[in-house]
Amino acid sequence: MVYFLYHGYYNSRTKTQDGREDATLEQHALVYALADKYGIAMLKSCASEEFAFSCVDSSQTEDFAGVIKVVYCSTPAGDRALRDVVVSTLILNHKLLDGAVVQEALLETQLAYDLVMAGHAKMAGKRNLWW
């Protein structure tokens, strides 16, 4: 967070075991929650964009499934930025709903409600989510 305040961006990339640099969805979600807590709108926006871009790359992995609870437990219910990305990713990749981690998140968070309401809004032509 301090780095962002001085430089205007944050670098959450870490070295993986095979030497690649990678940032996890969880890191972006936690930076977003921290930015929300301290009222740093630019950092919140940056973390939201990084999260959305990373979701596209990680939507078929356990990384995505594991971050659902982080998003729903660390952001206020009315803050839709990350939640809409999660819902959109699940709608576009509905096979992810077969995973045990995703099903557990459906039971423990507001995700099931959000999916139903997103489907309803899409059918009624009211609202586009992230996609």
| Best CA proximity match to 27, nearest among 55, 59, 61, 60 | 55
DSSP helix/strand/coil, 22: strand
* Bridge partners, residue 22, by sequence: 14
Q: Does residue 130 fall inside a structural domain?
A: no
Residue 119 lies in a domain: yes
Domain-located, residue 104: yes
Which pTM does this prediction carry?
A: 0.81
Average pLDDT over residues 15-37: 78
Domain containing residue 18: 2-124
| Residue 81 included in any domain | yes
For the chain, the domain total comes to: 1
| pLDDT at residue number 24 | 83
The answer to whether residue 99 sits within a structural domain is: yes
Measure the CA angle with vertex 83, ends 78 and 85; round to 5°.
Answer: 140
Residue 125 has pLDDT above 90, yes or no: no
Whether 131 is covered by a domain: the verdict is no
